[in-house]
Amino acid sequence: MLQNLEFKYPSNLVFFVFVLAAIIFLILGLRKKEKIMARLHLNSTARFKVLRAVLLGVGLSLIAVAAMGPQAFQGYVEVSKAGLDIYVLMDTSKSMLAADIAPDRLSVAKRIVGTLLDQLAGDRIGFIPFASDAYIQMPLTDDYQLARMFLNVMDTEMISGGGSNLAAAISLAADSFQRASSADKVILILSDGEDHDGASLEAVKKITDQQVKIYSVGIGTELGGVIPVYDHAGSTVIDYLKDAEGNTVISKLASGTLRQLAQDGGGVYFQAALDGAETAALIKELSALKRDEYQMERVKRFAHLYQYFLGPGLLLFALAWLLPERRSGA
């Protein structure tokens, strides 16, 4: 039994050490050295107090062990994970800095993905940012904490050059899915739809895996907004993007291609809204897709034992507390 004993929270022992040190300092502070030395002569009263101290010490020790979460290893159990694979294609071109949807397009897109991460359970997710080119920033994973770290650092400086090469991102995602899986596979595009040409539609037609579904979310408004130009520190707007003739560029949501991509890819198009309604609708759509078991894990199984230490510890502590300072008549 003892060889299988482990502690789930061994660091909690630190709190017991602090409590014990506080008790010792309290005793030393309240009693003079002469009185402490006098107590070493074990008369009947002293023996009674020694008993009380022992009960307190043992009781506190048992409570400390219980706080560390003792548990007995009882073997392994097989746990399977079922889910689908999702590649998020995030537009990181400069037009995503437009603030026609507050606070800006890229922040809204990241908010949508963050909400999606909150709802995932077993599904694997990966990130492919794209602008003039595309690359896999994070391969498929079910580590959602890691995914949030990658999502937080995503910005418009990740890929140099102008334009939005969505075709490259679609091809990269389609080629990165596992062919053997029978589960549905999702390509989720978040973009303002600008600078997309027929190449992205052609990329969809080349996808041979019938399990791949394409969903798109349009980020921005049809009225559009200006594209800010920041200083080197990235904190202050120093100008707004201008075309070759010196006119301020107005970036507008171009939903046509995004709608067509979703339609050709067997998915659905959504448009970002301030109330987040598009995210709820997207999650509902994804929840209906086919999932498959993709991983078996051996997980340790434990029996909790803290109650066997906590009960006696509290009992001894209570007995010590209820004992009088000295025997009657002493």
Q: Would you state the structure tokens that stand for residue 70, as one six-digit string?
A: 């003792």
Q: Where in the chain is the domain with CATH 3.40.50.410?
A: 80-295
pLDDT the model gives residue 187 = 97
Strands 85-91 and 225-226, how do they pair? unpaired
pTM value is: 0.68
User: Span 124-133, mean pLDDT?
Assistant: 95
| CA distance linking residue 294 with residue 80, whole number of Å | 8
**55-69, 83-97, 200-214, 316-330: segment of lowest average pLDDT:** 316-330
- The H or E element containing residue 228 is strand 228-230
- What is the band of 34 on the pLDDT scale with cuts at 50, 70, 90? very low
What's the CATH number for 80-295? Answer: 3.40.50.410
Runs of H (alpha helix) within the chain: 13-30, 33-38, 44-67, 105-119, 144-152, 166-176, 198-205, 255-264, 277-287, 306-322
Residues 6+ apart with CB under 8 A from 59: 312, 313, 314, 315, 316, 317, 318, 319, 320
Residue scoring higher pLDDT (90 or 83)? 90
Q: How confident is the model at residue 63 (pLDDT cuts 50, 70, 90)?
A: confident
